[in-house]
Structure 1
């Protein structure tokens, strides 16, 4: 049985729009027809080939006078159900259990007894478990497609690292005894200079991407080095590993060692454009090029302006640093005496926009915050690095109150941990510290960030900073499925779970005490990149499945 293409085309788009809206606004569809009526329509549809929707509706209304009317979209939905019953769905993955994500109105929403379906890497439906049998009939999947999560498990969006330096990973956990500007000259620039060696670059970058995925970072914004060939290798590794990322070749022409700087402005621009074209040549929507002036002290005004033009030409992201330390901000005013503020340097050169990420942004004036909000520029808050290098405490609450997008960044190796859970926890600690300082100074009311708000910053907030919230960040229908399967009782788990713990307590324990051992599956765009589920997990899932079936 099938319907003529011309018959279906007029109602398909209307139906899909209505159906999507209904799914997004309700946990469980309200059926306008009884099961018996739907079965009668299915019987009519199977009577002959090429039956039209109008013919089906007329015959049904004639046979069932108690039904006053029926829409074309309802007929089409039932027709789809009928067809789906005849097909298996090996391309589909379905999760039953607890979902945890953030929305615009709720920083951490915990939904129990839910069903989430993924087709072709995108979220197809999010429904109450009461709808499971109806969904099976509608989509044609079986228990073979379903992962029944146990009581110790939940699904959450992948973590988003809005700022990290891939070539600095050899320094992670080392050399954190100096403030920023001395730290760069003494440790960071010499390490990054080693990436002229492409063999070394491939070794390091392979470990970097694997480590971030292992820690649940499904999306990352990477600084590379000034080296074109090595940065291409980083893009290749990302492409082969399947992580979602933006990646940029670093640009800098001054205030850096002779052994580690670009040859000239023309070379800087030529190689940056070559890298952009190289990454776009992958035709991989997961890996995107990014224009990456290191920060204003290393880039003269003409370089900043020309890089901005490249970003505009190719519609690229831009990433850089802003107001990380007070000495840095003072230095920028000396280097750009015409600018009133550090932020004005980037704004004047047209680097600020909705696809721009500025890291740190600790020492901003209210006027600078207003500029960032007006431009739609996002801030990568890097609390671990800010503490390690003694840069300062970023007042994220004020940024958010002023309408600035804020996500979290690991900022390795200024931050010593590649795990975004570390950034999440330190985000809360820094905000608590600001609250204590304000209280001691009697400086007015200040509400510290909660761990739920930090969770949102690590997921949906990060997606907004990277201008990817239309694709990732939470479990909205039609978004790509970037997700983590968490098990608080996975093998070797650092978390102690007690008999009285409810679901929210288990989620909180993971956020505060969990680590990579609790991340048992990692998905990017629906592709399973990591799976460390154990036989114990499988047993728990089987028990859950049997209970649900009963």
Structure 2
């Protein structure tokens, strides 16, 4: 189908049917009987009404007979963006949820993460988590790996080979007073971070990039945090970490960094709050701290499953949005027990309703707003919204083909429903059985049988 049209553009394929997405102005936009073409670079060449098929076929040089028609109960939506997930914790997802954050880290997380010096173990876990998240509709993931450079590079390679858009971070931590064998010296962390960034960047993977990753302030000295801030600035890199997840952690930060005004101030002083920063949790941030997030352009990743599972707190998303702080959703495996962004959507709605139960004046989030957070909001939080997040012409085609009538699927369709109802049902009831195709940058990466590993 890739014949040049009069405009010089070429299209690889064209779909006709229903498309749902978000814009900055509208949480949910439904395009019925739309025609969407994807060019040979994987970008959206056009999205217009289905009645324009003859005109568009002449401009873009495709045959109307080659247009792929969606079924009655099918629609396309943007791929979901997981703004915070620990790939290295996937092996114990669904377990170990019986203690609060700091004890949880020392009892479960650090011992498991120390195993990733074994590349065979890393290969097994990382292959499974990337495959599973793609199956679940995660087209973009912001991954924490471990302190091990070679295993972190392996995660980047696996994401690239399987076709997922990913930010991959080698974890940095030069302070760990609990599990002595799982930490680095300042020099090791600095040198290995340089090596990780250089080697991953030299791979020139089109969709996989390094992200500077101090684990969180309590596991890093101020010297290391400052150094990582400089590395990110000098190389124009993304930054990810954690902030204000639970009360005990916030108090510990006060003890460790007495010269800083707040947890947010610790990162700000070290130049770690930028418009390419995403901080997970933020349950206990003050309005003053949120104002600093807004001022610096830093974003938050809301991880409701983890916040509830570890009894950390409940983020008031409405308050964050009112402060005009960028926010996306994260699964936070394995503090969050599910690797599905659909679960993140559901827990986000639940958490908002809990806040409304506690305070009837609270403005509960709508499913349309949460749909935007899982897609466009996530791309904005990761400063990737110029490339992905919705179906705008010129953006990469990151998309899920959803079939509400998938054989053996979890949803029973009783009568004809409009698209808005079908989307709500999918967000609340759907699972990977409903996701029949996944595209990243125009490349079909699911079903895996059709995958071309390069």
Q: Which TM-score band (shorter chain)?
A: over 0.9
Query: TM-score with structure 1 length normalisation?
Result: 0.79
Q: Could you say which residue in structure 1 is the equivalent of 2:452?
A: none
The DSSP-based 3-state class of the residue aligned with 2:203 is: coil
Query: TM-score with structure 2 length normalisation?
Result: 0.96
Q: Could you say which residue in structure 2 is the equivalent of 1:220?
A: 141
- Which of 424, 442, 446 matches 1:508? 424
User: C-alpha distance in 2, partners of 1:277/1:94?
Assistant: 38
Decide which structure has greater helix share. Answer: 1
The DSSP-based 3-state class of the residue aligned with 2:384 is: coil
Count of matched residue pairs: 444
Identify which range, 415-424 or 275-284, moves more after superposition.
275-284
Shift of 1:310: 0.7
Q: Could you say which residue in structure 2 is the equivalent of 1:521?
A: 437
Q: Could you say which residue in structure 2 is the equivalent of 1:257?
A: 179
User: C-alpha distance in 2, partners of 1:98/1:530?
Assistant: 20
Identify which range, 497-506 or 387-396, moves more after superposition.
497-506
The DSSP-based 3-state class of the residue aligned with 1:304 is: helix
Structure 2 counterparts to residues 407-486 of structure 1, below 5 A: 407-439=328-360, 445-486=361-402
User: C-alpha distance in 2, partners of 1:175/1:417?
Assistant: 13
- Which of 2, 23, 31 matches 1:111? 31
Unaligned runs of 5+ in 2: 450-454
The DSSP-based 3-state class of the residue aligned with 2:266 is: helix
Shift of 1:500: 3.2
- Which of 237, 246, 254 matches 2:158? 237
Shift of 1:144: 5.3
Larger radius of gyration: 1
CA contact (8 A) 1:521 1:532 kept: no
Shift of 1:532: 8.2
Unaligned runs of 5+ in 1: 1-79, 440-444, 534-550
Note the alpha carbon deviations across 1:375-426, whole angstroms, 9 max, x for none: 1001000000001000011001000000100100000000000000000011
Shift of 1:254: 1.1
Q: Could you say which residue in structure 2 is the equivalent of 1:102?
A: 22
Structure 2 counterparts to residues 92-491 of structure 1, below 5 A: 92-119=12-39, 120-143=41-64, 145-255=66-176, 256-262=178-184, 264-439=185-360, 445-491=361-407
Higher relative contact order (CA 8 A, sep 6+): 2
The DSSP-based 3-state class of the residue aligned with 2:212 is: strand
Shift of 1:498: 1.9
Note the alpha carbon deviations across 1:208-252, whole angstroms, 9 max, x for none: 100000000000000000011111111111121110000010011
CA contact (8 A) 1:520 1:532 kept: no
Shift of 1:139: 1.2
Note the alpha carbon deviations across 1:293-351, whole angstroms, 9 max, x for none: 00000001000000111111111100000000011001100000001110000000100
Q: Could you say which residue in structure 2 is the equivalent of 1:53?
A: none
User: C-alpha distance in 2, partners of 1:406/1:230?
Assistant: 29
User: C-alpha distance in 2, partners of 1:493/1:118?
Assistant: 28
CA contact (8 A) 1:92 1:145 kept: no
CA contact (8 A) 2:53 2:64 kept: no
The DSSP-based 3-state class of the residue aligned with 2:293 is: helix
The DSSP-based 3-state class of the residue aligned with 2:260 is: coil
- Which of 464, 478, 497 matches 2:413? 497
The DSSP-based 3-state class of the residue aligned with 1:281 is: helix
